[in-house]
Amino acid sequence: MFKDESSKSSKNIETIIGPSVKVEGDFFGEGDVVVEGIVTGNLKTKNHLKVMEGAKIQAEIEARSAFIAGEILGNITVSEELELTSSAKVKGDLNTNLISIEKGAIVNGKISMGSAQSIKPIEKRGERKEE
């Protein structure tokens, strides 16, 4: 995803919300989005989202993949991979297929992974499953 920063060229990044920028309202993008400032509202991209250390987001977030190093107040839905660094602070529910959480990251919310169909209920002892 964003592991090797030097190999990722800046031409792949479509939108950068700089450290001095504050966005209020709904933000929808097709390409990669990097947030270094403040976002309030909804934030959706069909590609990658990168939230840098020092960034603050109060929004519902949807992305294909996300790298979080800043603070987020809101639910995060990622269809592929979600990576939380040691500086990440998230207050909200996380829904993703794959997650990586570094030691030191703070998550206050429910974490759901994979599809609901892939999780089967556990049978109690002595109970037989009816078919």
- DSSP of 61-88, one letter per residue? EEESEEEE-SEEES-EEESSEEEE-TT-
CA 97 to chain CA centroid, nearest Å: 11
Look at residue 117 in the predicted model and tell me its pLDDT.
45
Q: What is the mean pLDDT of each run of 10 residues along the chain (131 residues)?
A: 47 82 90 94 94 96 97 96 98 96 97 66 56 51
Look at residue 13 in the predicted model and tell me its pLDDT.
74
Q: Is the pTM of this model over 0.85?
A: no
Closest CA to 26 of 66, 55, 57, 53: 57
Look at residue 8 in the predicted model and tell me its pLDDT.
46
Look at residue 14 in the predicted model and tell me its pLDDT.
84
Look at residue 4 in the predicted model and tell me its pLDDT.
47
Look at residue 29 in the predicted model and tell me its pLDDT.
87
Is the separation of the CB atoms in 15 and 30 below 8 Å? Answer: no
